[in-house]
Structure 1
Amino acid sequence: MAETHPHGRLLHINVIKARGSLRRILRSLLFGLAAIGLAILVSCHSAQFKAVVAEKQLVLSTLTDPRTFNYANNQSFPNIFLFAFEGLTRENGMTGEVEPALAESWTIAADNKRITFTLREGLKWSDGQPLTADDIVFTYRDIVFNPAIPADAKDSLRIGTKGMFPTVRKLDDRRVEFLLPEPFAPFLRATAAPDGILIQPKHVLEPTIHRKGSDGNLEFLSTWGTDTPPKKIVVNGAYLLDSYVAGQRLVFRRNPYYWRRDAQGQPLPYVDRIVWQFIENTDTQLLRFRSGELDVMGDARPLRPEYYSLLKREEQRGKFQVYNGGAWSGMLYMAFNQNPARTKNGKPIVDPVKLKWFTNLSFRQAVAYAIDRDRMNTNIFRGLGVTQHSPISVQSPYFVPASAVKTYDYNPQQAKTLLQQAGFQYNAQGQLFDAAGNRVRFNLLTNAGNKVREAIGAQIKQDLARIGIQVDFTPINFNTLGEKLSTSRDWDAHIIGFTGGIEPHSSANFWMSNGGSHYFNLAPQPGQQPLQGWQPTTFDQEIDRLFIAGAKELDEAKRKQIYAQFQRVVQDDLPIILLVNDSALMAARNDLVGLKYSGLPSWGLWNMPELQIKDR
């Protein structure tokens, strides 16, 4: 048998006990460390969770991605500039009054030709750099007034028959002076956000003004496209761009250098983060709003009337409110492409056969008589629409009622008579042909996803079929439509909306013949391929004359007479055919506090910095 140590077993047992104690100690130690780690992790997660909970977030939507991050290149609405940039002044969305913004005050000389603005003290860009009078001069002189840059904003400040711009100069870091060649009534509103001139950062963009790209255009024109990292966009508004995922969302965060404060001195905006989702279908937007995924619907384009009725019934259960701000200030219209120009290669912009129809006043009047606006209002707008007879917003003091202009009540027989008198003919099947035997047929476009416009296009197709015209109606992506209207000019007819407001001259870029949004006869634009043979129509020239006269006139009674004549010209000559406009309808969560909603502003969230989210 093997010899054992008399203490061997004891020794063995003690070693086992010692090892057991060690394991228990290690387990306790590990458990303690884990507990500490977990406590730290929970503490950190709790802090993060609290931070996430504490962060106020607003989720909005729009039908399509932004076309650009470059202010001067923008021709679409809504856009990032509503959130991210401000002007010298802003227009109050409830009263229409012009209020201080980046400028705290201004003075107008007795001759109405010198306006001096004083900037607020301590203004900064989102990168912390000072915002001074240099930025104001740069924005107006080097961007907006630059003939090589096709900024729509320039059309609102062309003065007199020569289309001269004000002279702008820095007096000191906080004061800037504008000298006008003659009195110009719309000047102050042209400086007002959201639709006026928005100030851009000289320290970032100035080099691009002095360099040209390989295409021969200023480098500025290709700067700040949607391929630019969002955090590189330097802004002065309430929100800066944080991230962008094409086709999904654009996220804004509050600008820590934004100047506004509330009455208690607290910095604005209150809402920390805005998620702007791109949802290319209004039915899908409705589903997401009803499910609670969206906080607002109808802020940029009024709610569809059937949505209004549905959501009104769900207000209490859904914990939201539906707002009715009366008639919306914009206009909804149909237009034909009347551009007589040819490309540099000699190709006509518009098929000459169709151009002959589109430039025939009797043809346009026949189409206007053939559209059943009452049916449109009843079936599509549920009776909540407003039949339009004027291109000026109903909120404007220059608006005239239907009794003061020519109107086109539904009258298909009158439409047929006008066409036949103009040399068009019908065959045995009721199809319309022109005098040369060409079947009258054209393409009609609108932006896909906007169900109201899609329904309007479908009805117009039916209405015009009743007078023998074949319409090929095609809704397309909004950005694609914008490119056709503003660049390629490759279209026959379109349906689209245009924002409005108090001052008629704010739409100068649409109505004046050299305007960047004068789509129905778009002139050559800076940075685009040259055109041959473009010329304004007779009514273009008359509208130019009236807009120049209206801008120069300071007597309000005389201004009203001038713009009344403008409205008569539009209805007599039909450069566009007005349809039925929306009522201003918007829905928003009950916990969104501070909304000031009416039909006047183009954007329902015009006072965004002042909005608060409660109890979320």
Structure 2
Amino acid sequence: MRRTSVKRTMVLVAAATLALLTACSGGGVPLTAGSTAPSSGPAAASGGAAKDTIVNVIAGTGQFNENLNPLVQGAPNLLGTWGMIYETLMFFNQSKSGDVQPLLATKYEFGDEGKSITFTLRDGVKWSDGKPFTAEDVAFNFLYRRDKKDLNAGGSNTKDAQVLSPTQVKISFTEKMYTKLWDVAGHQYMVPKHIWEKIDKPTKETNAKPVGTGPFMMGEFTPQSYTMVKNPNHWDTGKPKIAGMRFWSYNNNDASLQAMVTGQLDWGGMFMADPDKQFVAKDPEHNAYKNESQLYVTNLVPNLTKAPMNDLAVRQAINLGLDRDKIIELAFAGFGKPASPAGIVLPLFQDYLSPKYATAKLEFNQDKARQTLEAAGYAKDGDGYYAKDGKRLSVTCHLVSGWTDYVSAAQVIRQQLKEVGIEFKSKEVSFNAFVDMQQKGDFQLMMWNAYGGPHPYYMYDNILNSKSIPPANQNMARYKNPAVDAALKVIADTPPEQTDAIKQAIYAIQDAVVADLPYIPLQQSSALAEFRTANVTGWPSEQNPYALGLPFSHPDNGIVAKNLQPVQ
């Protein structure tokens, strides 16, 4: 069976347990904080009145750990901690370019040539325990993260935080922050000073009784099921309209898929080879899905410090030898789409694509691939593979064991490159071993994803900046190009309103990506979000992409959940 998109986006959400968010009607089951969850599954909670509508959430497999710590990004905390209980200052909608929405902050202003940001906060916001949310809380959050070394082992760029008024706070930094607003305002979840100032070791805190500003609060917890209930103090008047959410554990992904397609659940994020047949056809009136295809690019990642992948001719030959249409069709069920040679997510960032590459496509030309190798001094051996200096051109690509769509892709690639004269081998390893190889650079080639953000700078900086080589970030290829580093610095140091200067720097990066081929794109990947409208409506759609529809993406999950409308 093909692995789910839940596994594919594991690093994107930085959580050990990922999930599928779902909805059904509540059948008189109380959802007040501290209520007792029923012992049966979601189907037992159906058939109630609209005002009792709840959302059932598949939050993983196995037993839950009662961890609701929002400060540790890699923590295996409960789904809903980020976005539903705790909120950020602003919301960056990755479904729509340039869509930045106010949350706890209504306004921001750069100062000190980009080295400070002053936030104006929303009036009247309260924590779920009824105490006011103020600028003191925001200042505390930044200083707490700065001063607690276990929260910033790599160091902090926060210099100071000054309270200017109850609703205004100025955060100062050691570097220009024009390109880091998303990190500051979109990734840092606010916690209350009056609770966390008493916690000396935040990474050890499980936070079983969380107090946040989000639309939901923690209810009852058991190792098999837990609830989150409507926050009556939530600042967004009239929201949420549902009574709460119920989170469940299934034995395995097959059981989750079965629950989804049989109508027990109404919000999922599962990979299906044929969602029209497997899901929509089961209830065409109520079942639908959205293909979130603007999040990341799946690449063959060459280790540029190891032979033969440090040879540009080899990378070019592999690139030319791949029939992406067949790979997408045979391995990815046709849901991906061809990637841009410039390594940019389209059409989301069409405005940032160099005119030089406006119509450029990844070329499939196996004759040209062979010519490229021969021009670089390679000659075929008796088995039909190219060799140089007595050594066969053979590459080994590492994959995560059980990620069956990637395994299938490797099988297709093996045959395609054999026709070119390149021996392609694949090797499956555990996820932990795979991550260890990424960090140490102990590989020739691997199949992995390049993730984006609300601006093309984020992906480029993440995978191309020489400062992003592991363990610093995700430059798994170990790519080093001073011209690219310089262009990234220009973008980082340029005020966002100076779009022409930023675009010229981005165009320079795209020239280097095309010329150097530091990553070999396979597809612009997709993730499926499945919805049911039998009990609730208001899901994101192609026509109204107000947030990502993926249930495990945060803070989008909180935005979606509080905008759901019970069916009357």
TM-score interval for Structure 1 and Structure 2 normalised by the shorter chain: 0.7 to 0.9
From 579, 598, 604, the counterpart of 2:550: 604
- Aligned equivalents of 2:344 and 2:145: distance in 1? 28
What letter matches 2:485 in structure 1? D
Structure 2 gap segments, 5+ residues each: 1-27, 39-43
Any conservation in 2 of the 1:328–1:600 contact (CA below 8 Å)? Answer: no
User: What is aligned with 1:331?
Assistant: 297
**Matches of 1:430 and 1:197, distance apart in 2:** 54
Deviation at 1:387, TM superposition (A): 0.5
Residue 151 of structure 1 and its aligned partner are, at CA, apart by 7.6
1:73–1:150 Cα contact (<8 Å) kept: no
The residue number in structure 1 matching 2:164 is 171
Q: Could you give the per-residue CA deviations for residues 430-482 of structure 1, whole angstroms, max 9, x where no partner exists?
A: 24555363662424213635x433432332233333333231242644x6644
TM-score, normalising length: structure 2: 0.73
Q: State which of 423, 446, 459 in structure 2 corresponds to 1:469.
A: 423
Is the 8 Å Cα contact of residues 300 and 522 (structure 2) preserved in structure 1? yes
CA contact 2:140–2:193 (8 Å) conserved in 1: yes
Q: Which of 258, 261, 282 is the equivalent residue of 2:236?
A: 261
Pair 1:223-2:204 in alignment: yes
**What is the CA-CA distance between 1:258 and the residue it aligns to?**
5.5
Partner of 1:593: 537
Q: TM-score, normalised by structure 1?
A: 0.68
Q: Secondary structure at the match of 2:466?
A: coil
Alpha carbons 1:297, 1:587 under 8 Å: kept: yes
Separation in structure 2 between the aligned mates of residue 140 and residue 493 of structure 1, nearest angstrom = 39
Aligned to 2:490: 549
Quote the residue 1:212 is aligned against. none
1:557-568 equivalences in 2 (<5 Å): 557-568=500-511
| Superposition map of 1:154-553 within 5 A | 167-179=160-172, 184-193=177-186, 196-202=187-193, 220=202, 222-224=203-205, 228=206, 231-232=208-209, 235-240=212-217, 251-254=226-229, 256=231, 259-262=234-237, 266-268=238-240, 270-275=242-247, 277=249, 281=253, 285-298=256-269, 303-304=271-272, 306-308=274-276, 310-316=278-284, 319-324=286-291, 327-338=293-304, 355-381=306-332, 383-389=334-340, 390-394=342-346, 395-396=348-349, 397-400=351-354, 403-404=357-358, 408-433=362-387, 435=389, 437=391, 440-446=394-400, 448-449=402-403, 451-466=404-419, 467-474=421-428, 476-477=430-431, 481-482=434-435, 484-486=437-439, 490-507=442-459, 508-515=461-468, 518-521=473-476, 537-539=479-481, 541-553=482-494
1:333/1:556 Cα in 2 relative to 1: closer, same or farther (>3 Å)?
same
1:357 shift after superposition: 1.8
Mean CA deviation greater in 128-137 or 586-595: 128-137
SS at match of 2:263: coil
Distance in 2, Cα, partners of 1:257 & 1:482: 42
The structure number with the bigger radius of gyration is: 1
1:57 to 52, 55, 58: 55
Q: Secondary structure at the match of 2:467?
A: coil
Deviation at 1:520, TM superposition (A): 4.1
Partners in 2 of 1:110 and 1:176 — Cα distance?
15
1:411 partner letter: N
Q: Corresponding residue for 1:5?
A: none
1:253 is displaced (CA, Å) by: 0.7
Q: How far does the alpha carbon of each residue in 1:365-385 deviate from its partner, in whole angstroms, 9 at most, with x for none?
A: 222222220212333455553
Aligned length: 505
In the TM superposition, what whole-angstrom CA distance separates every residue of 1:466-500 from its partner, at most 9, and x where no partner exists?
333231242644x66445535x5554433233442
Tell me the CA shift for residue 556 of structure 1. Answer: 1.0
Kindly provide the amino acid, as one letter, of the partner of residue 379 in structure 1: L
Q: 1:410 to 1:98 in 2, by over 3 A?
A: same
Paired residue secondary structure (1:385): coil
Shift of 1:563: 1.1
- Give, in whole Å, the separation in 2 of the partners of 1:460 and 1:404: 27
Counterpart-to-counterpart distance in 2, 1:505 and 1:566: 10
Q: 1:93-114: CA deviations, max 9, x gaps? A: 6654222111133345596665
Task: Report which of the two has the higher share of helix.
Answer: 1
Question: Matches of 1:565 and 1:286 in 2, distance apart?
Answer: 45
Secondary structure of the 2:447 match is strand
| Structure 2: distance between partners of 1:414 and 1:293 | 52
- Which amino acid is 2:135 matched to? A
Distance in 1, matches of 2:228 and 2:500, equals 46
Deviation, 1:391, is 2.9
Which residue does the alignment assign to 2:9? Answer: none
Is the CA contact (8 Å cut-off) linking 1:85 and 1:198 kept in structure 2?
A: yes
Matches of 2:337 and 2:29 in 1, distance apart?
Answer: 56
Aligned CA-pair RMSD: 4.4
- Residue 88 of structure 1 and its aligned partner are, at CA, apart by 1.0
Q: Say yes or no: does 1:105 pair with 2:107.
A: yes
The letter for the 2-side match of 1:518 is N
* SS of the residue 2:91 aligns to: strand
Q: Secondary structure at the match of 2:438?
A: helix
- Measured in 2, the distance between the counterparts of 1:66 and 1:519 equals 29
| Equivalent residue letter for 1:89 | M
Report the residue type matching 1:74 in the other structure.
G
5+ long unaligned stretches in structure 1: 1-42, 155-163, 210-218, 341-354, 523-535
User: Which amino acid in 2 is paired with 1:392?
Assistant: I
Q: Distance in 2 between matches of 1:61 and 1:140?
A: 30
Whichever residue aligns with residue 537 of structure 2, its letter is: V
SS of equivalent residue, structure 2 residue 454: coil
Report the Cα distance in structure 1 between the residues aligned to 2:506 and 2:344, rounded to whole angstroms. 9
User: What amino acid is the match of 1:328?
Assistant: Q
- Post-superposition CA distance 1:230-273 (Å, at most 9, x none): 62555443345667788xx67451363663333xxx35363511
Q: Secondary structure at the match of 1:579?
A: strand
Which residue identity is paired with 1:427?
Answer: D
Distance in 2 between residues matched to 1:153 and 1:409, nearest whole Å:
43
- Aligned mates of 2:143, 2:80 — CA distance in 1: 23
Does structure 1 conserve the Cα–Cα contact (< 8 Å) formed by 2:398 and 2:428?
A: yes
* Residue identity (%): 20
| 2: CA distance, partners of 1:244 / 1:492 | 45
- Counterpart of 1:260, as a letter, is W
1:330–1:499 Cα contact (<8 Å) kept? yes
Kept in 2, the 8 Å contact 1:446–1:457? The answer is no
Q: Structure 2 CA distance, aligned partners of 1:145 and 1:97? A: 32
Q: Distance in 2 between matches of 1:323 and 1:94?
A: 11
1:87 is matched with 88
